[in-house]
Amino acid sequence: MRPYQTFHNDIETQGFITIPDVYTSEEVDAMIDLIIRADTEKETFRKSAALFAIRQFLKELPEIMDLVFNTGIREIISTMFRPDYFVVKSIYFDKPEGSNWYVAYHQDLTISVDRRLDIPGFGPWTVKQNQFAVQPPLDMLENNFTIRIHLDDTDADNGALKVVTGSHLKGIYRPENIDWSNERESVCDVPKGGVMIMKPLLLHSSSRTTNGKKRRVIHLEFSHLELPEGLRWSERVKI
């Protein structure tokens, strides 16, 4: 049995953990095959020379659910967190070999909801491609977590996430205020079939690809909290 309780403690103190071999090579290849055969003409699909992304991924490819939520990932969620967590956002990212963009340091400060309502503690609001996003109260972000499923070997040369270890414990932490004399940067190498688990408030960034290799990731955000009356998660998937 894996030391999941130790992993949970690492997430609480460091803000992240990487776990290899959660999926077999066959399971990963089966997921890739379903993605390749998906209908890319839907408005939730974004395809360009620099990025291929699928928003509301689990809704668009429901047949992939059994592969994504295999025995390993279910054990991780129920043991390291609690069994009543559910998915509130799912996205597939494909950073192609020729893509050369990077993402600067940031925290994931918003959640996706179905509408805009004036509710104390929720704001500011944004709308992008008919998707409402809002910054919720801090305690909600502190309780949520993200799992990134890696479909390719990922390291510093093809855009592995860089994180500021422990930065999730400092509330809203603006990138321009990072004190590098006191902070430690970590590169999160993840092999094919492995996962990275992180807290939304962890400062993270992604470098440019330099080795011409793919970095395909399934990004899942989880919560166990209900929203105020009248507001709903734009995506909610029971595990």
From 177, 238, 43, 201, select the one nearest 110 (Cα to Cα).
201
Q: What is the pLDDT of residue 40?
A: 65
Q: What is the pLDDT of residue 50?
A: 47
Q: What is the pLDDT of residue 209?
A: 78
Q: Which residues of the chain have pLDDT under 50?
A: 49-50
225-233: long-range contacts, CB 8 A cutoff, minimum separation 24 = 225/140, 225/143, 225/144, 227/113, 228/117, 228/119, 228/122, 230/115, 230/117, 230/119, 231/113, 231/114, 231/115, 231/117, 231/119, 231/122, 232/113, 232/114, 232/115, 233/88, 233/111, 233/112, 233/113, 233/114
Q: What is the pLDDT of residue 44?
A: 56
pTM: 0.92
CATH architecture type of domain 4-223: Sandwich (2.60)
Q: Which H or E run includes 36?
A: helix 25-36
Q: What is the pLDDT of residue 192?
A: 97
Q: What is the pLDDT of residue 49?
A: 47
Q: What is the pLDDT of residue 96?
A: 65
What does the DSSP 8-state code read for residue 237? B
Q: What is the pLDDT of residue 214?
A: 84
